Amino acid sequence: MTTRTVSFTILLALTSMTAAACGESRPIWHDQVLPSGKTVKVTSFNLVWGVEHDDRDASKDCFALEFVSANPGADEAVREREALDVFELIRPASELWGLKTASVSGFPSVERKGRYEIFTFTRGADGKWSFTRQSAKVFANDL
């Protein structure tokens, strides 16, 4: 290698490292209008495989959607209605795929920290959906 090639390679490496180190990391989301007309920020949408301790269970496959609540300080009934509205975004796809469960998690902000709510939806034999709600936190030391 020539001195010029080595110098260029070093310069390129330093420029790349500087660009990577100085870049801002911002959470990404997609603004989504709900059937009610309200808008939430969808931060994650995944097809989740039913696997537990390396045991594959296809009956536990589901869609999981995470969103930022339009009104995180609202009372429990308002947050529940919002989660039901958000669920309508994935219910048709869940039914089309023959999935029996779905998960919707509501966060207070786009920053993944603090407490949030998980709504686990289950489809009964009659085709009707019901849900359970649980409170969770991102990190063990979150309030």
Architecture of domain 27-137: Roll (3.10)
Q: What is the pLDDT of residues 2-13, one digit of tens each?
A: 666 656 667 666
What residues does each domain of the chain span? 27-137
Q: What is the pLDDT of residues 82-126, one digit of tens each?
A: 999 999 999 999 999 999 999 999 999 998 888 999 999 999 999
Q: What is the pLDDT of residues 23-82, one digit of tens each?
A: 667 778 999 999 999 999 999 999 999 888 888 888 889 999 999 999 988 999 999 999
Sequence-separated (6 or more) residues with CB below 8 Å from residue 120:
101, 102, 103, 131, 132, 133, 134
> H or E stretch including 9?
helix 3-22
d(CA 70, CA 133): 18
